[in-house]
């Protein structure tokens, strides 16, 4: 059985409200290369609420942009 796909919201890996997944294909070959969770509007609302709260936290000038450009992806 395939492991559930998770979304990173508010610093935690959480399951989507929907159990749907979206297959990702290589556009050059059409070969399936994986799948991702298909988030729904309630998942988006949860993420937006978390981001909105975090944006109100006071940070020193320049700290927010510094964090944005130093993402570990």
When pLDDT is averaged across residues 29-43 and rounded to a whole number, the result is 91
pLDDT at 3 (0 to 100): 65
Residue 63 maps to a domain: no
Tally of structural domains, the chain: 1
Average pLDDT, the chain: 78
Range of the domain at 23: 6-58
DSSP string covering 2-65, please?
Answer: PPPPEEEETTEEEE-SS--EEEEE-TTT--EEEEEE---HHHHHHHHHHHHHHHTS---TTHHH
More confident site: 48 or 68: 48
Please report whether residue 72 resides in a domain.
no
| Cα distance between residue 16 and residue 52, in whole Å | 20
């Amino acid at each position: 059985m395939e492991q559930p796909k998770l979304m990173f919201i508010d610093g935690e890996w959480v399951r989507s409200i929907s159990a749907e997944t979206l297959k990702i294909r290589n556009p050059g070959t059409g070969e399936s290369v994986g799948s991702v969770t298909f988030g729904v509007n309630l998942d988006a609302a949860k993420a937006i609420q978390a981001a909105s709260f975090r944006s109100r936290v006071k940070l020193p000038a320049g700290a927010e942009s510094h964090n944005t450009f130093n993402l570990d992806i």
